[in-house]
Amino acid sequence: MGSENPPLPYSNTPNQFTWSHAQRPENRMLQLFLKKDRDVPIRRGHPWIFSGAIERIDGDETEVGAADVFDNKKNWLARGLYNPKSQLRVRLLTWQKEAIDQSFFSRRLSQALAFRAVELTGSTNAYRLCNGEGDFLPGLIVDRYADYYVCQFFTAGMELFKDDIIAALSALTAPKGIFERSEGRVREEEGIEASVGTLTGEPPPELISIEENGHKFLVDVRRGQKTGFFLDQRDSRAFLATLARDRSVLNCFSYTGGFSVYAFAGGATEVVTFDSSHPALELAEKNLEINGFADRTGELIKGDAFAYLKEIEQTFDVIVLDPPSLAHKRADINAATGGYKFLNLHALKHLNPGGLLLTFSCSQHLSADLFQKVVFGAAIDAGRKVTIVKRLGHSIDHPVSLHHPEGEYLKGLALHALD
């Protein structure tokens, strides 16, 4: 290739004569023009473009692929991935004129990895390596569990670059294997089928053993919830350990017992581990066992936490309330606030004087402000005087882009009930 030619946005290895959609040269890339004034959020770095903001598209607008985005005066703004089937038409990857190829993903992922390597290596071998928008890779989640990586490709655009992403990830980290758990509501909205299985290397074992802050956990990356473990709650688990000494603890919505293990490690006298999922509780039992807590006082109980919290007579010194998202879309917010209020009201009613409630919401659509108001309402109805001792949230491997505050889904309050 002559030096007078401009660089092409695909790798120019000698045997590469064709290109996929993902690698098509810039002159074949879709060009998308925004309506007047709809460029403002994009200039500020927001990564989403909804269908209503688009004035016109040049190119084959029926196909998923990379797209250049312009304002209505034809000024180039950014580059991203387009999906005609989603109301969220474009998710932006870059505000620079750089090629979207393996080397692009390699740069983004190595930045994400460098930060985690400094901050987390030593304390855990399980963390989120790529947090979608929070790592400027919307639609891509990568979680590390010891020697294995679990990926979620949530969008049709990212799906198109799967091979490039796997190659970039393999070159950066040399994992034993990369497994995929691309499934769920977002993929349905994107018009793509679920895809689960080993992408490269060895298939992961049935249970992967990880170590977090000196505690061992078994993770089922094939069938577990999310990618197998709630990595986002690592800091709050560690916080619980600091205040569990000589206290009775209820771990409500326990999943595989993360908070229970930390509670015993912190010196809790008794821990009740409660969840509606039988497989989760089976794994919780194993997790207590491998950390040496099998014979400590406590129970694993399967049931509906709403009914349990209303009906039990027992009270606790510490309650952890970490329900699944009760609002999947904006329209669910009203019903969800009712659910959160009910749970917090009944948790506060079962908290001993001087007790602590660690309460969470992982609903993206429920703001931290509204969550606090709901908990306030619960405190009033429970007749308790309550203080916030700490605000809790996701661990540092779940960064939130300042330009995309919607990414901040997990909010928590550590509350102290006076009497």
Which active-site residues does the annotation give? 362
Q: Are strands 88-94 and 248-252 parallel, antiparallel or unpaired?
A: unpaired
Total site size for ligand SAH, rule CB under 6 A: 19
Is residue 275 at the binding interface for ligand SAH, with CB under 6 A as the rule?
A: yes
Enumerate residues 321-360 that contact ligand SAH by CB under 6 A: 322-324
Determine phi and psi for 236, rounding to 5 degrees.
Answer: -75, -30
Q: Which region, left, alpha or beta, applies to residue 78 given φ > 0 means left and ψ of -120 to 50 means alpha?
A: beta
Enumerate residues 196-225 that contact ligand SAH by CB under 6 A: 225
Residues paired with residue 67 on neighbouring β-strands, in sequence order: 30, 80
Determine phi and psi for 84, rounding to 5 degrees.
Answer: -65, -20
Q: Which stretch binds ligand SAH (CB under 6 A): 88-96, 252-260, 291-299, 395-403?
A: 252-260
Contact between 135 and 197 (Cβ < 8 Å): no
Is residue 276 at the binding interface for ligand SAH, with CB under 6 A as the rule?
A: yes
**DSSP symbol at 26:** G
**CB of 47 or CB of 323, closer to ligand SAH:** 323
Candidates 52, 76, 51, 81; CA nearest to 66 is 81
Q: Which region, left, alpha or beta, applies to residue 69 given φ > 0 means left and ψ of -120 to 50 means alpha?
A: beta
Of these, 34, 305, 392, 414, which contacts ligand SAH (CB under 6 A)? 305
Contact between 91 and 48 (Cβ < 8 Å): yes
**CB of 33 or CB of 230, closer to ligand SAH:** 230
The CA distance from 93 to 348, in Å, is 44
**CB of 108 or CB of 237, closer to ligand SAH:** 237
Of these, 112, 218, 280, 417, which contacts ligand SAH (CB under 6 A)? 280
CB 319, min distance to ligand SAH, A? 12
CB 225, min distance to ligand SAH, A? 6
Of these, 106, 170, 209, 277, which contacts ligand SAH (CB under 6 A)? 277
Of these, 37, 163, 304, 311, which contacts ligand SAH (CB under 6 A)? 304
**Which parts of this chain interact with ligand SAH (CB under 6 A)?**
225, 230, 233, 253-256, 258-259, 275-277, 280, 304-306, 322-324
